[in-house]
Chain A
């Protein structure tokens, strides 16, 4: 059977890992899919370039900026060179470019399975209230501000401590007004307006990963609790949970918004109350956890995109443990040389120059 060639970005399996390697491993575990994984990297130091048991061949891409012409030309080149048929972009910075140009990419013979731009915009923290209301969960008391005066009023009204958040990225806790104002200025300087001020809600930090088919049906979902995280807040150990209200909210999210593609909902759960904290419109870096408990979401996403009539999503057990670990590989310098000079790793006919 001819391999199905899938491009995966986010193969930066570093201390703040991208989701790519988890997605690639998941696809490889579906033997019947016969996936040939093409790593799409932005730097010769991304570990996935060298993990040849997961990533069959890799290419360095230009950054996904501007109108994306150079980026899409590179994808076309990869299609010509390696038969690229499908791409799963896994990084936040790539998604707007892919979503805006979905048709252009398709015209070049490469398929994707992503949310629409309207769906993508729902991840904005200034839209979370609307989402929370429609999926039946709560939102911590939130104020969206566009000036320092409004910000100070919001902090006063909500009462300290508060979370100070950018619309899409960054979030800090502030315990004093001075600290809050410093975070406000830092956010405005880096990301602009609006700035979100939110009451701090305490409870269990639970997340759910899922994939929607774009027509209101869930292709599967798995809930987890992060038991320990790194200094960067990334999961190191976790456990599967079956928090009914959160899983029902994920189901409603796919149904209500006809969500297409992968997503992660970050929640805080206190008793029966579920508070929505963040929506990520992509696979999280811990995506392999779901695969490990029998819910292979990357594989189901690809199969759904190919028009397969999928059986209902499999169930999973609560109480399965996830442990991330560090590991090393040693390889030949020729691979690094290929990445730097040719922007490509995985050709079999190359040797180190003598």
Chain B
């Protein structure tokens, strides 16, 4: 989490990692989740916020949240 907390996020979904110099582009939903994680929300809390914001079922939001968390891990960000 400390690494994730340092990520710089732009409104357009451009993500910069100041530790490694890597940059990423995330979707609107990805940006929403990253912002939630950076604010210290748990996966469950983030999924609930995602479901409300994007009008999707809680189950779909949880799945997206888990997938996104997996991607972050793959990139060494979480």
Contact = CB atoms under 8 A, between A and B. Distances in A.
14 contacts: A204-B22, A206-B21, A224-B21, A225-B20, A225-B21, A227-B21, A238-B21, A239-B16, A239-B23, A243-B19, A243-B20, A271-B76, A318-B18, A319-B8
Interface residues of B, number: 9
Interface string A258-284: 000000000001010000000000000
Which of B8, B21, B22 has the most chain A CB within a 10 Å cutoff?
B21
Interface in A220-275: 224-225, 227, 238-244, 269, 271
Given A271-B76, A319-B8, A239 B19 contact: no
A139 B20 CA distance: 19
Contacts of A238: 21
Nearest to B19: A243
Interface string B60-78: 0000000000000000100
Interface in B43-65: none
A242 B16 contact: no
Interface of B: 8, 16, 18-23, 76
User: Interface majority SS on A: helix, strand, loop or mixed?
Assistant: strand
Contacts of A227: 21
B20 A206 contact: yes
B21 A241 contact: yes
A319 B24 CA distance: 13
Interface of A: 204, 206, 224-225, 227, 238-244, 269, 271, 318-319
A133 B19 CA distance: 22
Contacts of B76: 271
Contact of A204 (B18, B20, B23): B20
A206 to B, nearest CB: 7
Contacts of B19: 241-244
A204 B76 CA distance: 12
Contacts of A319: 8, 16, 18
Contacts of B18: 241-242, 318-319
Contacts of B8: 318-319
Contacts of A271: 76
Contacts of A269: 20
A265 to B, nearest CB: 15
A104 B23 CA distance: 50
B24 to A, nearest CB: 13
A242 B21 CA distance: 8
Nearest to A317: B18
Contacts of B23: 239
Contacts of B22: 204, 225
A225 B23 CA distance: 11
Given A239-B21, A239-B23, 8 more contacts: A204-B20, A204-B22, A225-B22, A238-B21, A241-B18, A242-B18, A243-B19, A243-B20
A319 B16 CA distance: 7
Nearest to B21: A225
Contacts of A239: 16, 21, 23
